[in-house]
Chain A
Amino acid sequence: MIRHGAKGLLLAVGLLFACREPGPADPAVGGPRRIVALAPNLTEIVFALGAGDRLVGVSEYSDHPEAARLIPRVGGLEVDPEKVAALHPDLVLAIAEGNAQGTVRALEAAGLPVTVTPSGSLDAVLESIRLVAARLGRPEEGRRLVAELERRRAAVRARVAGRRRPRALLMVWPDPPQAAGGQTFLNDVLTEAGAENLVADRRGWPVLSKEYVATAPVELLVIPDSVEARAAWDTAFASGTLSRGPVARARRVQLDEAALTRPGPRVFDMLEKLAEATR
């Protein structure tokens, strides 16, 4: 019943928007004015491009920059399509990895102009910034931001070139132990910061066996730091998955969880910090 209602509403909203001509925003009129970002990294990208004031809806965890906290919420990774539609957005930004593709299709079917950004590498993060900038009608700001990030990225690469690469794990959760594997943006962060990802041959975000974690020849352990997860990590270091073997003795680098795990501009800050730590 509820689902039916949602479809009806979406259809009605869809008809409303069918009258508009969807297409690339016209820079002359300043691009879309009512933007909804369905993931926190997209919120950060929009703000970084100087268009934060055009956001009318954001995802639950959009807490950066500070101004983003005041924008109405449209749900977490499970977006509420009705809330999105009710905001009458003229641009909806979604991520390919994380947002439910069914939701994205429902929004598209309702006639909302949805742009899905790519993921899976640092290049995809930069591509996302370019894409969002183009949709915002601010391609020049996008080019400038990407060029700046590319410059910092190249500087990091130059700094770590020739160094011995410490064997590393970038873990996203302690128990069950889960790490960044190959074809993820965090694998690029780890590699470009001068480390060797021990689980690069596992695609995505593999849940590792405890035996592997206890015996892997880890020299550098990178973990996200957040208030919510601190107890879980403390337990793992004190008596759990990270309390034995090389991983317990490995050099530990804690990086702000939100900045590290969101494929947005701040990930390049983390790249620089990590490069400092791999020395």
Chain B
Amino acid sequence: MKALSRGPALAAGALLLAAVLAIAFSVGGVHLSLADLAAGTGEAGQTARMLAALRLPRVLLAALVGACLALAGAALQALLKNPLADPFLLGTSGGAAVGAACAALVGASPLVSPAFAFVGATAASLGVAALARRGGRLDLERLLLAGLIANAFFSALLLAAFSIASGEASRTMLFWMMGSLSDATPGKVAALGPYVLAGLAVLLGAAPRLNLFAVGEESAAALGVDTERTKRVVFLAASLLTGAAVAFAGVIGFVGLLVPHGVRAVAGNDQRTLLPRPALAGAALLVAADAVSRAALAPAELPIGAITAALGAPLFAWLLLRTP
């Protein structure tokens, strides 16, 4: 039964994503004529191809970043059995941003900034988890508080780094703090792809064990799951995904929170069927949000973080009200 429903659901998700990609590619502050793109000659064709060369990497980068953030959020929510878990709220994104800011401060090449961001994200995850641990288990309340503390601390570090950086570096940092997809290039898309695939593969491998976590950590251990190892693997995968997303697009909040909830509401709680879907849904959401950010204030742009937060904050409030 499950095998039957899983295929069509994934196909539906893929179709949705494809439709959103196509729409997002054709809208924006500047009109892109698909006819000119396909068969245009002279200046019209040239303009269309140039626009496509600018817009296509951006749409694809939005898709990959959305997939990373949503996957990380879904994994953290499953692992922590906490509907409020999200790489943004738990300080993982902030740690990644600090890592990326360090890379900019020491003048490291943009190619290694994901590595810096990954180190920052991992350190943040481990630190927050250590703060939240009480009597050998992660305490829900402490986890959110630890995330709050971590975010405040990382904001302080970022502001300090921002004020000592000069010119170019401070502009780059402002970009991380606000989150932006406007620097998309084919190279970045190609570099981010493997991170998404690796994260997805690791999380799919851990999905059966994550399902047992839903029953309870003790029960999972009793059923033969190496719970500590599972936690480590999932935490690292979530950090890797978050670090990669932040390194290429800055801190974009709430996608990791929003998407897993939407998917669970539609698809239920089985991680094996659940896990690939947040990637598709997260990709679709961020591509759509980016299309709005490009079109709403044209020829200027609306920060993407403003759109995701405008969607995410009310949902967060609603979840708080529902959580006993």
A contact set with B: CB distance below 8 Å:
173, 175-176, 199, 202, 206-212, 214-216, 228-229, 231-232, 244-245
Contact = CB atoms under 8 A, between A and B. Distances in A.
Interface of B: 28-30, 47, 50-51, 54-55, 167-168, 171, 175, 180, 182, 294, 298-301
Contacts of B182: 176, 209-210
23 contacts: A175-B171, A176-B182, A199-B299, A206-B299, A206-B300, A208-B299, A208-B301, A209-B28, A209-B30, A209-B294, A209-B298, A209-B299, A209-B300, A211-B28, A211-B54, A212-B298, A214-B51, A215-B47, A215-B50, A215-B51, A232-B167, A232-B168, A244-B50
Nearest to A199: B299
A229 B54 CA distance: 24
Which 10 A-B pairs rank lowest in CB-CB distance, beginning with the nearest?
A212-B299, A206-B300, A211-B30, A215-B30, A209-B301, A208-B299, A209-B29, A244-B50, A211-B54, A212-B29
A215 B298 CA distance: 13
A275 B290 CA distance: 40
A245 B29 CA distance: 16
A206 B294 CA distance: 14
A207 to B, nearest CB: 6
Contacts, number: 54
A176 B299 CA distance: 13
Given A211-B29, A228-B167, A245 B299 contact: no
A146 to B, nearest CB: 34
Nearest to B295: A209
Given A173-B171, A209-B182, A211-B51, 12 more contacts: A176-B171, A199-B299, A208-B299, A209-B301, A211-B28, A214-B50, A215-B30, A215-B47, A232-B167, A232-B168, A245-B47, A245-B50
A216 B300 CA distance: 13
Given A176-B182, A209-B294, A211-B29, A216 B299 contact: yes
Contact of B300 (A207, A228, A244): A207
Q: Which one of B54, B298, B299, B301 has the greatest number of beta carbons of chain A within 10 Å?
A: B299
A207 B50 contact: no
A206 B50 CA distance: 23
Contacts of A229: 167
A176 B168 CA distance: 11
B133 to A, nearest CB: 35
Nearest to A212: B299
A210 B299 contact: no
A229 B47 CA distance: 29
Q: Which one of A206, A208, A210, A211 has the greatest number of beta carbons of chain B within 10 Å?
A: A211
Contacts of A202: 299-300
A181 B20 CA distance: 33
B289 to A, nearest CB: 15
Given A215-B47, A228-B167, A208 B54 contact: no
A128 B317 CA distance: 49
B230 to A, nearest CB: 42
A154 to B, nearest CB: 33
Contacts of A176: 171, 175, 180, 182
A244 B30 CA distance: 15
A229 B167 CA distance: 8
A172 to B, nearest CB: 12
A147 to B, nearest CB: 38
Contacts of B47: 215, 245
